């Protein structure tokens, strides 16, 4: 039996994280697409976890099952190192890069504890974004550009994140305007 290479695969989303004025916000759209078909318009791709009583917000782009696997692993790392998001993120990235099972996962995460803001990738990267803005997904570059353009305005972090997702949804066909927004104070 040959592998079906015509399967369109899961595609698209937009997640943006913005830190401004002592507040960090992660916002994500709600669209799930399979090829050129919208499967769901109200998915929740931004979640709050509280391992050890420390709130962390996570946004994910990519395969949903893979992202949930990574969120569970991150939560376990945070339980082992409470309040240490940087350490837990590096440990997750190391596992993701070297573990035979994990290295096949296709997702990206944006995480924050209100102080730190990171992008975690399957290449073993834990990136602290420049300009206090992180963005991933098919509409990530559109949201990143929009958010960067607004950082010098009088808009707060949430207003910037919401507008960035709105702009991305108007450009990227794999992104919609149904938003989930979570925030933490730094």
Question: For residue 33, what is the domain's CATH number?
Answer: 3.60.20.10
**Domain encompassing residue 78:** 10-185
Contact 12, 159 (CB under 8 A): no
Q: Is residue 133 part of a domain?
A: yes
Phi and psi for 26 in degrees, rounded to 5? -120, 130
Q: Is residue 3 part of a domain?
A: no
The DSSP letter of residue 83 is T
Q: Is residue 176 part of a domain?
A: yes
CA-based nearest residue to 158, from 175, 139, 141, 179: 179
Q: Is residue 90 part of a domain?
A: yes
Tell me the mean pLDDT in the region 45-70: 90
Q: Is residue 97 part of a domain?
A: yes
Q: Is residue 2 part of a domain?
A: no
Contact 22, 186 (CB under 8 A): yes
pLDDT per residue as tens digits for the range 6-47: 434 445 789 999 999 999 999 999 998 888 889 899 999 999
Tell me the mean pLDDT in the region 110-125: 92
User: In angstroms, how far is CA 180 from the centroid of its own chain?
Assistant: 11
What is the total count of domains within the chain?
A: 1
Tell me the mean pLDDT in the region 51-62: 91
* Catalytic sites, residue numbers: 13
**What pLDDT band is residue 1 in, cutting at 50, 70 and 90?**
very low
Rounded to two decimals, what is the model's pTM?
0.90
pLDDT per residue as tens digits for the range 78-106: 999 999 999 999 999 988 888 877 777 88
Positive or negative: CA dihedral 160, 163, 165, 171? negative
Q: Is residue 26 part of a domain?
A: yes
Q: Is residue 1 part of a domain?
A: no
Q: Using alpha carbons only, what angle is made at residue 134 by residues 57 and 109, rounded to the nearest 5 degrees?
A: 50
User: In angstroms, how far is CA 21 from the centroid of its own chain?
Assistant: 21
User: In angstroms, how far is CA 172 from the centroid of its own chain?
Assistant: 17
């Amino acid at each position: 039996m040959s592998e079906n290479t015509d399967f369109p695969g899961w595609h698209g989303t937009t997640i943006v994280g913005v830190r401004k004025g002592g507040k960090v916000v992660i916002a994500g759209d709600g669209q799930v697409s399979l090829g050129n078909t919208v499967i769901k318009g109200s998915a929740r791709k931004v979640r709050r976890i509280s391992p050890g009583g420390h709130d962390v917000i996570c946004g994910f782009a990519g395969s949903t099952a893979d992202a949930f696997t990574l969120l569970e692993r991150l939560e376990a790392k945070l339980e082992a190192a409470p309040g240490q998001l940087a350490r837990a993120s590096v440990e997750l990235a190391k596992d993701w890069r070297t573990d035979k099972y994990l290295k096949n996962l296709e997702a990206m995460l944006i995480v924050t504890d209100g102080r730190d803001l990171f992008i975690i990738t399957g290449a073993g990267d834990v990136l602290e974004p420049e300009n206090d803005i992180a963005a991933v997904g098919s509409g990530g570059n559109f949201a990143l550009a929009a958010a960067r353009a607004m950082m010098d305005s009088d808009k707060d972090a949430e207003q910037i994140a919401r507008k960035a997702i709105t702009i991305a949804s108007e450009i990227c066909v794999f992104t919609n305007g149904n938003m989930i927004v979570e925030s933490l104070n730094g």
